[in-house]
Amino acid sequence: MPSEFFEDEMIALPDSEGVAAEEEGDVAHYHFRLSKTLTRRIDQYLVDRVPYLSRNNVQRLIDEGMVKVNGRQVKASYKPKERDEIELVAPPKPVSELVPEDIPLDVVYEDDHLLALNKQADLIVHPARGKWTGTLVNGLVHYGRNWSTVNGNWRPGILHRLDRNTTGVMLVAKSDEAHWRVARQFENRTIQKTYMAIIHGVPEMLGDVIDLPIGKDRYVREKQAVRKVENGGRPAVTKYEVLETFETPPAIRLHTGDHPADRKNPPPAQRFALVKLTPKTGRTHQLRVHMAARGHPLVGDTMYGGHVFEHESLNFARQALHAFEITFVHPGTLETITLQAPLPPDMTALRDILRSSNSRSTESKV
């Protein structure tokens, strides 16, 4: 874990005895010790000490409890005193350019116009919120540099996204022309995407359409929720079809995630099902929110009520969601093309464990 003392800042701003900064994951930790009482507010002081943060940035961090003085939260108007110890948790300093990284890419299709890959779990698509390395884009820059520039330098070639822990097929454009042609299809909703998911419980109807608007959760910033349109929700439609149902294996254990909010969700239904999901719209977390709203959260999706699945041979702690297939008009040949990405090993193992408990199939198995 890197640690750095900024001696030049101590000389320029002699009101502090020292400042340390450590980067850990997606955040930076700062620690200041005051050598004299100040006449300015703490938000003004922190802007001077961490110049890449604006005053609005600092005030938001204070409101979110990311700034503490002597272990306690304070208001932006607080004026630091001699011997105060200030702790700040903030996004790390932005980098000026993308860093190429040798991240494995599972390419399922490639030509002069585009590339399709099978994204692995625990991989963010592009840099954001201080996560400047270790993303799919860093891997793409290492793989080659002939990507479209439509979305700017930080998202070369990126046409659409998958959540960090959602696996499956993704398209990347090589030329600006290919990007515009495929992006127009996404905009017009003529691209058909099919996902596979393993859910808690078995829906009463083995096939149905969920038409529920989705918007930001009122209480948790990272979450989405079913919201009325008049309260900020946007139309969202998902078609689902149950492919297999499973009894609960005797040798498994289900438990909540590490986040305190996970423990507030009701326990999920018994039994499990493999479902095919076809989104007609593309809202953030749409499939996860819709299935949870029906009482059938995805296995491992603790944010939306799913539980971690433990077996002697598997610990499944991410949402069991995979982008299995995509059908679109090829930007070069103008012919309809369908690409698939096989289930990842962890999701295949989860399905096989459940199958061992006498599954029932409603159509051919995946």
Q: What is the pLDDT of residues 140-196, one digit of tens each?
A: 999 987 899 998 888 899 999 999 999 999 999 999 999 999 999 999 999 999 999
Task: Assign residue 334 a region (left: φ > 0; alpha: ψ between -120 and 50; beta: otherwise).
Answer: left
Rounded Cα distance between 89 and 23, Å, is: 10
What are the structure tokens assigned to 48, written together?
A: 């001077």
Whole-angstrom CA distances from 158 to 74, 131, 342 are 41, 17, 21
- pLDDT value at position 222? 85
More confident residue, 341 or 14: 341
Rounded Cα distance between 67 and 237, Å, is: 41
pTM, two decimal places: 0.76
pLDDT at 20 over 90: no
Using pLDDT thresholds of 50, 70 and 90, give the confidence band for residue 15. very low
Q: Are 297 and 235 spatial neighbours (Cβ–Cβ below 8 Å)?
A: no
Say whether 190-366 and 3-90 share the same fold: no
Residue with tokens 């996404």: 186
**DSSP assignment string, 82-109:** TT-EEEEEEPPPPPSSPPP------EEE
- pLDDT value at position 25? 47
Rounded Cα distance between 364 and 347, Å, is: 18
* Among the listed residues 23, 133, 165, the one whose alpha carbon sits nearest the alpha carbon of residue 89: 23
Q: What is the pLDDT of residues 263-321, one digit of tens each?
A: 777 788 889 999 999 999 999 999 999 999 999 999 999 999 999 999 999 999 999 99
- pLDDT value at position 287? 98
- Choosing from 106, 112, 122, 163, the catalytic residue is 163
Whole-angstrom CA distances from 76 to 18, 20, 41 are 21, 21, 7
* Among the listed residues 45, 23, 126, 36, the one whose alpha carbon sits nearest the alpha carbon of residue 81: 36
CATH classification for the domain delimited by 3-90, as one of 3.40.50.300, 3.30.70.20, 3.10.290.10, 2.130.10.10: 3.10.290.10
Rounded Cα distance between 320 and 366, Å, is: 14
Q: What is the pLDDT of residues 45-84, one digit of tens each?
A: 999 999 888 999 899 999 989 999 999 999 999 999 999 9
Rounded Cα distance between 10 and 30, Å, is: 14
Report the run of H or E that residue 224 belongs to, with start and end: strand 224-226
List helix spans (H) across 237-307. Answer: 286-293
Using pLDDT thresholds of 50, 70 and 90, give the confidence band for residue 130. low
Question: Which residues have CB under 8 Å from 219's CB, separation 6+?
Answer: none
DSSP-assigned beta bridge partners for residue 308 = 255
- pLDDT value at position 206? 96
Rounded Cα distance between 69 and 84, Å, is: 6
Task: Write down the CATH superfamily of domain 190-366.
Answer: Pseudouridine synthase (3.30.2350.10)
Average pLDDT, integer, range 99-120? 95
Are β-strands 321-329 and 360-361 bridged in parallel, bridged antiparallel, or unpaired?
A: unpaired
DSSP structure class, residue 304: G
- pLDDT value at position 153? 80
Residue type, 138: N
Residue 159 burial by CB count (10 A; 0-12/13-18/19+): exposed, middle or buried? Answer: buried
Rounded Cα distance between 12 and 204, Å, is: 68
Using pLDDT thresholds of 50, 70 and 90, give the confidence band for residue 233. very high
- pLDDT value at position 146? 87
What are the structure tokens assigned to 14, written together?
A: 């002699």
- pLDDT value at position 9? 34
pLDDT at 128 over 80: no
Rounded Cα distance between 256 and 310, Å, is: 11
Relative orientation angle of helices 42-49 and 55-63, to the nearest 10 degrees = 120
Task: Count CA atoms within 13 Å of residue 58 on its CB side.
Answer: 25
Domain boundaries, the chain: 3-90, 94-188, 190-366
Question: Which residues have CB under 8 Å from 144's CB, separation 6+?
Answer: none
- pLDDT value at position 360? 65
Task: Work out the mean pLDDT of the chain and round it to a whole number.
Answer: 88
Spelled out in words, what is the top-level CATH class assigned to the domain 94-188? Answer: alpha beta
DSSP-assigned beta bridge partners for residue 193 = 326
Told to judge if 84 belongs to the known catalytic residues of this protein, a careful annotator would answer no
Rounded Cα distance between 116 and 107, Å, is: 6
